[in-house]
Amino acid sequence: MTGIVLPDSRIVVQFSCGAASAVAGKLALAQYGATHDVQFINAFLANEHVDNRRFLADCQIWLGRDITVLADEKYGADIIQVFRRERYMKGPHGAPCTKLLKRRQLDAWKQPGDVMVLGYTAEEADRLDDFRDRNPDRPVIAPLIDLGLGKEDCKAMVIRAGIALPITYQMGYENANCIGCVKGGEGYWRAIRADFPEQFEALCQVQDDLGQGSWFLRYRSGPRKGERFPLRDLPDGPIRRNEAIPACSFFCEMAEADIQQDQAI
């Protein structure tokens, strides 16, 4: 793994306001902090829980490093604006929000030779392999996988460091993504409808205005199995706050493509 880290490489940690990226950054700093320029970057999104900023501030103290916050200006760092202006919410190549509000910021900021630190956990080793296969020219390291650390290990390490996990974790969610992440499935969206009705309604209104092309949930059984339906028609059923959704990193669309394959009907 370390062969790709050259003496003059910058080590770039994508801090997503999740426990995994915080621990991955801490480990990268321990391994490379004395020998390399280790940078932390975060993409601000207006749709994340406000507590994510508190978590970021706490992590800066824990890491002993500033985290550079990048914020999109074209769309006000707001997924709703992205959906309305791009006129879709999720497509075959991923979601426009992550591409325009995260990936584009990173592309403008990065330098040749940067080595990216991914917060993939031990449970996501296959995603790392897939990422490397698809992006052979992007040097990445994944300290959590190297050390066999899983999601629960990361949460425990953050708590042991005296840092309260982001509020969405405390509510039972698996990540600190936007409130209403388009990568979620039915159980997750029922949780968002129950916990964050205003944000849920705002996304319903986007779909009301954009129409059928913006629908991304599908009936999973019954006579309409496979057909898409709008969030507003989400049937009652189990609420799953802990549905497995990858944290939204700068490479989010890669992870999303994996999830789409997993959930293909």
The minimum distance between CB 256 and ligand SF4, in angstroms, equals 6
Nearer to ligand SF4 among residue 9 and residue 105 (C-beta): 105
Answer whether 11's CB lies under 8 Å from 115's CB: yes
The Cβ of residue 37 has, within 10 Å, a number of other Cβ atoms equal to: 12
Positions in the binding site for ligand SF4 (CB under 6 A): 45, 79, 95, 97-98, 101, 177-178, 181-183, 248, 252
The smaller minimum CB distance to ligand SF4, of residues 158 and 255, is found at 255
Q: Which is nearer to ligand SF4, 95 or 145 (CB)?
A: 95
Q: Which is nearer to ligand SF4, 25 or 180 (CB)?
A: 180
In the complex, minimum distance from the CB of residue 34 to ligand SF4, in angstroms, rounded to a whole number: 33
Give the Cβ contact number of residue 90 at 10 Å: 18
Task: Tokens for 56, please give them.
Answer: 């970021």
Q: What is the closest distance, in whole angstroms, from the C-beta atom of residue 6 to ligand SF4 in the complex?
A: 31
Choice between 29 and 179, CB closer to ligand SF4 = 179
What minimum distance in Å lies between the beta carbon of 254 and ligand SF4?
A: 11
CB of 258 to ligand SF4, least distance (A): 13
Q: Least distance from C-beta 90 to ligand SF4, angstroms? A: 8
Cβ-based nearer residue to ligand SF4, 16 or 31: 16
Reference 8, options 113, 165, 136; nearest CA is: 113
With b for 16 or more beta-carbon neighbours within 10 A and e for fewer, the 241-265 pattern comes to bebbbbbbbbbbbbbbbebeeeeee
